[in-house]
Amino acid sequence: MGIGPQHIGVGGAVVLLILSLVFHRNFFALFSSGPSADHGVTTSEPARSNQTDDKNDEKVQFVSFVLDDVQHTWEKLLPAQSGRPYHHAKLVLFSDEISSACGLAQSASGPFYCPEDEKVYIDLGFFKELRDRFGAPGEFAEAYVIAHEVGHHVQKILGIEGKVQQLRDNNPQQSNSLSVRLELQADCFAGVWGNSTEQRKIIDQSDVKAALTAAAAVGDDRLQQMTTGRTMPETFTHGSSAQRDHWFQQGLNSGMIADCDTFKSRP
């Protein structure tokens, strides 16, 4: 993994992550003041105070590390389980709004993956909202969000995303239902990565709980209840809290792509 001008192996990065979590210090700062170009990280942020810059640098390093770990995991899992090679997505960090190959996006849109340019777009401010507004604190909750977006990249590589888009074009009335299944599968793929972190003993049950809380926190029913005071299942695009919790846990327990077929199972 590239961390700034110096390079450390996967094992060394895992050790640094564990030390950072245990001692509540950013041990990655010992190696770099920011991410290297190896991560494919692009930033689009306005000038900020030094204090905020320091905090953002730490968050950028964390996001870059998680992205690397998720993608290196898929480099092994995808060929082994599907026979298809994995190629990396790029990460774009932005503030306020940004133009992507999928159109203009704003912070209110939340993190997203654009299949047209194969980039994951994340506004770092979303993690603060995840903690303060949605009640899902913890670094593994943030890692779940990143792994979910990379899950969409896996869908693109497997051809799932293209097939779903074609089905949407042919059956516009099924668009929301297809979107829910696509999003729940990305949750399951995030869980598949989570399974690998359990196998490597990087996380414990408190981390798993944080990720499950994050999955449930951004369920359509909970978001609709927060904003309108009622739920409308027919308008869901990502799935309910219970569904998102279930499919993340499905991938977490199984670690198998084949067990994430939300298109054949009840969502």
Domain limits, the chain: 2-260
Give 116-154 pLDDT, tens digit per residue. 999 999 987 877 777 776 666 567 788 888 999 999 999
Contacts of 259 (CB under 8 A, 6+ apart): 188, 250, 251
Q: How far, CA to CA in Å, does 113 sit from each of 122, 156, 202?
A: 9, 10, 26
CA distance 83 to 77: 9
CA distance 104 to 44: 13
**pLDDT at site 134:** 62
Identify which has the larger pLDDT, 253 or 33: 253
**Quick one: tokens of 73?**
């995991």
CA distance 41 to 245: 29
| DSSP string across 227-247 | HHSS--GGG-SS--HHHHHHH
Give 83-103 pLDDT, tens digit per residue. 999 999 999 998 888 889 998
**pLDDT at site 133:** 65
Run of H or E residues at 12: helix 10-23
pTM of the shown model:
0.76
Residue with tokens 């327990």: 253
Contact 158, 232 (CB under 8 A): no
Contact 155, 185 (CB under 8 A): yes
Reference 174, options 236, 219, 246; nearest CA is: 236
Arithmetic mean of pLDDT, 237-244: 88
Give the dihedral sign, CA 25/151/223/239: negative
Identify which has the larger pLDDT, 171 or 232: 171
Describe the crossing of helices 175-199 and 205-217 by its angle, rounded to 10 degrees.
170
Arithmetic mean of pLDDT, 233-239: 81
